[in-house]
A and B are shown apart, each in its own frame.
Chain A
């Protein structure tokens, strides 16, 4: 039972355009969400997060949107750069009572120069 789903295994975007990565979840108890970025042969690194009390969080070129009624979050990268090419994982947790994140299956983003 996949509680966090990333239905697009891959995405290609032209440099300078917007990249939109999507993530759906099934557990309405999740209250904190993160995006991690992973380059080949490296561990995932934290990118951006959002609490369920917000619907948007922005950090430079990266913005995460949360739609709680749809149980959906998305990561927008504007403008996309070739260095953004990586695998992106979304993750979710319940901040009280559990100690672990549930990760999605990942989306491989390729930004074309």
Chain B
């Protein structure tokens, strides 16, 4: 049972490039989340989804887009990467409202 899988694990982008981070979960969880972790800032919510076909903005959504076309997948897109988006990105899922999260192992993104 893989849990939550994030791909890629590492990526270096040039300013202005685009990319998509993939999160896949095999636990049939309804809720999925994208967080970023920065030094001194903890984990901040970017976007989340409460079910297939739904998305909503979190605390820091600017510069990111998301899609949840299939229940098991939650994609995070950067249309035009900026150095301020250098961070470690974590995907998480939970089976119910307020339920504890299962996290992926993270994607370390560097924008130069």
Contact = CB atoms under 8 A, between A and B. Distances in A.
Given A44-B103, A93-B98, A94-B98, 20 more contacts: A4-B42, A6-B42, A36-B103, A41-B106, A43-B4, A43-B104, A44-B43, A44-B90, A44-B101, A89-B43, A91-B43, A96-B98, A100-B33, A100-B45, A102-B45, A103-B35, A103-B43, A103-B44, A104-B42, A105-B41
Contacts, number: 59
Interface residues on B, range: 20 to 34
Interface in B24-46: 31, 33, 35, 40-45
Given A99-B97, A100-B48, A43 B103 contact: yes
B43 A42 contact: no
12 contacts: A6-B42, A36-B103, A44-B101, A46-B101, A98-B97, A98-B98, A99-B31, A99-B97, A99-B98, A100-B48, A101-B101, A103-B44
Contacts of A79: none
A16 to B, nearest CB: 29
A91 B102 CA distance: 13
Main secondary structure of the interface of B (DSSP, over half): strand
Given A43-B106, A45-B103, A103 B48 contact: no
Contact of B42 (A43, A99, A106): A106
A105 to B, nearest CB: 4
A14 interface: no
B77 interface: no
Interface string A22-56: 00000000001010100001111110010000000
B105 A9 contact: no
Interface string B66-107: 000000000000000000000000101000011011111110
Nearest to A105: B42
B61 interface: no
A12 interface: no
A95 B98 contact: yes
B43 A41 contact: no
Given A44-B90, A49-B100, A105 B40 contact: yes
B4 to A, nearest CB: 7
